[in-house]
Amino acid sequence: DGGITQSPKYLFRKEGQNVTLSCEQNLNHDAMYWYRQDPGQGLRLIYYSQIVNDFQKGDIAEGYSVSREKKESFPLTVTSAQKNPTAFYLCASSIRGAGDSPLHFGNGTRLTVT
């Protein structure tokens, strides 16, 4: 079955360490997204990629980095520059843009930084 796989489900890190969250899809989708979810807030876009080897900053890109070297993979690195990294991170993909195709989500990674 096609889908999006995020790993790990839970991640714990010490402050000051960089950490990379994995996102893999086998849906053959061109577009991929990273969102952050905090309690009481709507999802916020960190980065998105329209096609392989291309990515764009979202609304809250500071302190994060991404790469899109393969169509299937869109890893997110949370750097030590991110001031409040503890959050629930969701990866998504769509055939085309979210303006004309539905989103498919992974199950998320809950990151705790202490």
Partner 1 sequence: KNEVEQSPQNLTAQEGEFITINCSYSVGISALHWLQQHPGGGIVSLFMLSSGKKKHGRLIATINIQEKHSSLHITASHPRDSAVYICAVTSGGSNYKLTFGKGTLLTVNP
Residue 40 in contact with partner 1, rule: CB under 8 A: yes
**DSSP code per residue over 57-75:** E-TT-TTEEE--SBTTB--
Burial (0-12, 13-18, 19+ Cβ within 10 Å), 22:
middle
- Which residue number, 23 or 92, has a Cβ lying nearer to partner 1? 92
Question: Min. distance of Cβ 98 from partner 1 in angstroms?
Answer: 5
40 is written with which tokens? 């009481």
Q: Is 22 in the site for partner 1 (CB under 8 A)?
A: no
Residues at the interface with partner 1 (CB under 8 A): 31, 33, 40-45, 48, 50, 56, 58-59, 88, 90, 92, 96-108, 110
